[in-house]
Amino acid sequence: MIFWFLADPFISLPIAGLCGISLFLLVSTTPQLLAIQALFFLIGLFLLYIFTTIDYRIWSKFSWLVYIFSILLLLISLVSPVVRGASRWISVGGWRMIQPSEVIKPLIIVFFAQMIFQYQPRSFINLLKLTTCLLPIAILIFLQPDLGNFIVYLTFFICMIITGGLPISYILGGLFLMIVSLPFSWFFLQPYQKARLFSFINPYSDPSGAGYNALQAMITIGSGELMGLGLGRGTQSRLLFLPEYHTDFVFASLGEELGFIGGFIVIILYLLLLFRILKIAMETDDMFGKLICIGVFSQIFIQVAINIGMNLGILPITGITLPLLSYGGSSVISTFIGLGLVLSVARQKDQELLVIK
């Protein structure tokens, strides 16, 4: 029972593979962070076990409590000291202890799973109720500012309400409104976010400024070629040409040291994990559990897609982590809690099948 999730190779192998690669990359680039990241993984695995063994349906009783708790954490982060132009962290004694927008992701997924289960978005009134609940979270994250996580929350919310029965007419209408309002969103972006969009279109227009990160990421990945330079031999990250080489641009560091082969293996591991989460969602008959799985699936998928896309230069630069690969406790803990919820859904389904037999 303790290692129940190990029996599922589509869950255990990607977790072990991604965590192992993350630690190896830290050994070669930032060895002083190895022990801290290993501790984060141990805490994450413990939380994975806890959330796997607890019946996920019990969390529906506390949905509003976790929602209010999440808003409070975001409010505290807004009044915390500004770090690199953003208020995303809750600091204690000068130490950045927690990033609320990362940690609360599984909590918000549970909240909306319960809300969508209770108020199916088949009517405009119910859709309005659900959207109203999203607004405080979305606004607080946007004000930090954290455009990357703003996109993540919006993505898993949309995927969950579609799963919950959103009519096709509403989907088409929403797409039309999004396309029409997209030009007006420009006026709500911060100056550095606008600069990133300009640099995405033409990174060579400001190679030492706004386009620097994108150019260095592409140079770093390109230098790895097919087999990579080898662990500890990546010059771009070790000589600090590549910024945030252990967090936002960890995939570029991976490409430099392990090459195309290493990047391909990581993508396969993510695909295996996502396939298994989606399969669990499709096999469960409980809508609350299905919505949780879809929420976690879409959260991990969009983070992987955006992070790898910006590292390859095919998407604009946004500050977003690569789940289980990037350094950072908040992201690791959030991902493991989300996976624990998914495994709880699978476990309850298997137990019900045993009872039937």
pLDDT for residue 312: 85
Concatenating the DSSP letter of every residue in 53-100 gives: HS-GGGGGGGHHHHHHHHHHHHHHHHTSPPBTTB---EEETTEEEE-H
Quick check: 281 and 323 in contact, CB under 8 A?
no
Span of 13-22, 120-129, 204-213, 257-266 with lowest mean pLDDT? 204-213
pLDDT for residue 204: 60
pLDDT for residue 292: 96
Q: What is the value of pTM for the model shown?
A: 0.90
Domain ranges of the chain: 4-356
**Cβ neighbours for 303, distance < 8 A, ≥ 6 positions apart:** 152, 320, 321, 322, 323
Q: How far apart are CA 243 and CA 234, in angstroms?
A: 13
Q: How far apart are CA 56 and CA 129, in angstroms?
A: 24
Averaged pLDDT, 192-217: 66
Q: How far apart are CA 123 and CA 38, in angstroms?
A: 47
Span of 2-6, 185-189, 273-277 with lowest mean pLDDT? 2-6
Angle, vertex CA 194, rays to CA 189 and CA 198, nearest 5: 155
pLDDT for residue 1: 47
In total, the chain counts a number of residues equal to 357
Per-residue pLDDT tens digits for 68-107: 999 999 998 887 766 666 677 787 666 667 888 999 999 9
Per-residue pLDDT tens digits for 269-320: 999 999 999 999 999 989 999 999 999 999 999 999 999 998 888 888 787 8
Sign of CA dihedral 310, 313, 315, 316: positive
